[in-house]
Amino acid sequence: MVKGMNLSAMLQAAAREHGGKTAIVCRGRRLTYAELDAGAGRLASALVRMGIRKGDRLALLMENSPEFVMAFFGIVRAGGIAVPLHPRYKIDEIASIFGSARPRALIGEDVFLKPISSALTGFDYLEHVITVDGDGGGQFLSFEDMLGQSTPGRVKVALSPDDLAVIHYTSAPTTSPRGSMLSHGVNCAEAAISAEGFRLTEKDVAMLYALPLYHQFGLASLLLAAMLRAATVVMVPGTGLSIGSLLEAIEKERGTILLGVPYIFSLAIKLAESEGIRSDLSSLRICGSAGAPLMVNTAHRFRQRFGLPLLDLWGLTEAVSHVTCQPLDGSGPPGASGKALPGWEIRIVADDGRELPPGRDGEIVVRGPIMKGYYRNPEATAAVLKNGWLYTGDIGRMDREGYLYITGRKKSMIILKGQNIYPVDIESVLRAHPAVAEALVLGIPDELRGEIVGAVVRLKPGAQVTEQGLRHFCQEHMADFKVPRQVIFTNGPVREAAASISVEGIFNRF
């Protein structure tokens, strides 16, 4: 079913064979596969009528919703390339990515579009801005009106597995963005690998909570895998709702699969340990953690409280989503991220490219349904794609049974609650402040969040600014999850200061 398939054909097949089955549940709404397919078809027709051509980029600035799914499938059905953006990005970050992707259209929610509306006119290549939850008010086009004025007839755009479907900008600094080019074929292949690895069927109910569709893990390993097998996806809004609300939703919808970052499972453990488990979770059969290192103690405590193994998965955007998974029965060795899933090969190599034997640490390289390269960046592409292998920048080792252990990273990166944060992004903003002479940003280990952001700053002679002032400056120029939790001032070189003061001493408030 997957070989030779494109993403539009995937949804059309599900609608044809399971049209009356519920595809999406969100905030009391239930959309069948037929309704989802019709919505995607209407949007595709509207996009083609407004002049969108095959290969055009269309950005998405929205949280999880049925409209996100319709917009995504509508874009790719029209031959466009979806560019998902983090909704909490500030205009400086968006402008950096736009400068690379140069999208012709932006589809988003009013709450994210309005704060940047005045700046959007400065992008001369951005021809259309579409709001999914408003009437446009003369400022934006209305998503609802576009669907209402279109027919769900099939758009006649020839699509092949080799055509680009997504450019994802989550795995490089926004000051120097790198967009992973992911084709229809590799997304379909990864969806099939995930579906087979999780043994998904049309009877499954996949819970989507705090796992955004603007990340490939949520998009490919959950949504697309579910679409491929005609399972149901339940979107539980993360904003303003507690872990208890998630557990209640699992009971109500009889959820069978829950994927997330370690932070979510740590919160679930804390709730279970403090208040007990009040919901019936007997329908759950798989819980999987990815996006950040999973501590052995977290997996152990989760199994103690919930009676289910917490599977450790590993992957990266350049490889579409996850590459490894522990056995579904939880029988893998503690601390391992599982074995390569069918369709993937893994090697551990030294700096000179030599393959290392079991038990030796080196860079993890993979081969399988990987990206075509970084969009409009051949130099960065050549650095990571070599002879068909993707050099991941992660350090690890394999045992003789093929289990992978992640032990470090070659690239400088902080992972906070599953979000990839590059220190250079934050350092460039801090250095832009008129009072700052030098800044160093580093990640601090945190059991609940994985890592948290701290900064050491040296001011210019005679300059003054408070920690609160620097944090406020950062909030104006970057997504709030990147803002340092604490800023330490020093009179000497920041690197020496960071090295000479203990983690407990600098970051005692964490």
The token pair at 363 is 């860079």
The token pair at 331 is 């029988």
Q: Which DSSP helix (H) or strand (E) runs through 414?
A: strand 414-416
Specify the higher pLDDT residue, 401 or 509: 401
pLDDT band (50, 70, 90) for residue 177 = confident
d(Cα 6, Cα 37) in Å, to the nearest integer? 14
Q: In this predicted structure, which of 231-245, 387-401, 472-486 has the lowest mean pLDDT?
A: 231-245
pLDDT the model gives residue 173:
58
pLDDT band (50, 70, 90) for residue 498 = confident
pLDDT the model gives residue 510:
32
d(Cα 405, Cα 395) in Å, to the nearest integer? 9
**Pick from 82, 176, 130, 112: which is nearest to 480 by CA?**
112
What's the burial of 329, exposed, middle or buried (CB within 10 Å: 0-12/13-18/19+)? exposed
Taking only the tens place, the pLDDT of each residue in 213-263 is: 999 999 999 999 999 999 999 999 865 568 999 999 999 999 999 999 998
**Interval 139-163 mean pLDDT:** 90
pLDDT the model gives residue 502:
45
The DSSP secondary-structure symbol of 155 reads P
Examine the pLDDT at 507 and tell me if it is beyond 80.
no
Helices 7-18 and 184-197 pack at an angle, to 10 degrees, of 50
> Mind listing the domains of the chain with CATH numbers?
35-183 (3.40.50.980), 414-506 (3.30.300.30)
pLDDT band (50, 70, 90) for residue 116 = very high
Beta strands 310-315 and 322-325 are antiparallel
The token pair at 135 is 């009437």
pLDDT the model gives residue 183:
98
Taking only the tens place, the pLDDT of each residue in 343-354 is: 999 999 999 999
Examine the pLDDT at 494 and tell me if it is beyond 70.
yes
pLDDT the model gives residue 239:
56
pLDDT the model gives residue 240:
53
**pTM of the model as a whole:** 0.88
Specify the higher pLDDT residue, 57 or 177: 57
